[in-house]
Amino acid sequence: MIRGLGADQILFIVGALRWTVTLAALSLVIGGVAGFTVAIARVSLLRGLRWLAAGYIGLIQGVPALMLLFLAYYGLSLAGLELPPLAAAAISLAFYVSGYLADIWRGAIQSVPWQQWEASGSLGLTRAQQFRYVVLPQAVRIATPPTVGFAVQAVKNTSIVSIVNVVEVSRAGQLVNNTTYEPFRVYGLVALLYFAICWPMSLLASRLERRLDVRRQR
């Protein structure tokens, strides 16, 4: 039966935001931890480790997020793990996020002048100390704007998990559209919700970027 787009339907879509936000946050946290590990491996002194990390980044950036989702969805169940779709979705998004964040952070670490390594080494710091106390604080500052910018991509990317029936905002929109058949208004609302999350983040990213530029010029 065709029903109008009422308050119930709108609340259903808005309520589904919690899964969009949960998935984005989970994938950014898990993917962030993994990505940080890969970034460190990517700048390691061991050539084998560097190649392995570069291969991982190239692999993740060379395939669609949708394929990662399907591989996680079917692969995990083959491995005997009967996980709910939400878990497969979070894991695949985390893989996706890790490949991109690793590359962004690799760039940030490498853009810290190498003299910083030399100078701190001459003070007798171990390589771990050099990284922790000298290079990392500078790299974090460089990495912040592009990381926030990428978080926008991570939020938008959660939309694809609607295909494994995780009822986040996009799936909620599809379900409501199936009963109301008001695609323009339903998907317009869905787009508006994404925009409300992503736009402030984009603005923050460009503001951070400008502030960083000013500091550099000083």
Partner 1 sequence: MPFAFEFGPVIAHADTIADGVWLTLTLSAVGILLGLGLGVLLAMSRGLVPRPVQWLLDAYIEVIRNTPFLIQLFIIFFGLPVLGLRLDAMQAAVLTIMFNLGAYATEIIRAGIDSIHPSQIEAGASLAMTRLQVFRHVVLMPALARVWPSLTSQFVLTMLGTSICSFISVQELSGSAAQVESDTFRSFETYITVTVIYLLLSLALRLALLLLGEALFPRGSGLRRLVGGRR
Give me the residues that bind partner 1 (CB under 8 A), please: 59, 61-68, 70-71, 74-75, 78, 103-104, 107, 146, 152, 156-157, 159-160, 162-163, 170, 173-174, 177, 182-184, 187-188, 190-191, 194-195, 198-199, 202
Q: Are 9 and 182 in contact (CB under 8 A)?
A: no
What is the closest distance, in whole angstroms, from the C-beta atom of residue 79 to partner 1 in the complex? Answer: 8
Cβ proximity to partner 1, 26 vs 186, nearer residue: 186
What is the closest distance, in whole angstroms, from the C-beta atom of residue 28 to partner 1 in the complex? Answer: 16
What is the closest distance, in whole angstroms, from the C-beta atom of residue 119 to partner 1 in the complex? Answer: 25
HSE of 151, CA atoms in CB hemisphere, 13 A: 24
Q: Which residue has 């390594």 as its token pair?
A: 117
What is the closest distance, in whole angstroms, from the C-beta atom of residue 14 to partner 1 in the complex? Answer: 15
Dihedral sign from CA coordinates of 56, 146, 169, 180:
negative
Cβ proximity to partner 1, 62 vs 124, nearer residue: 62
Q: Are 154 and 28 in contact (CB under 8 A)?
A: yes
Dihedral sign from CA coordinates of 68, 72, 75, 79:
positive
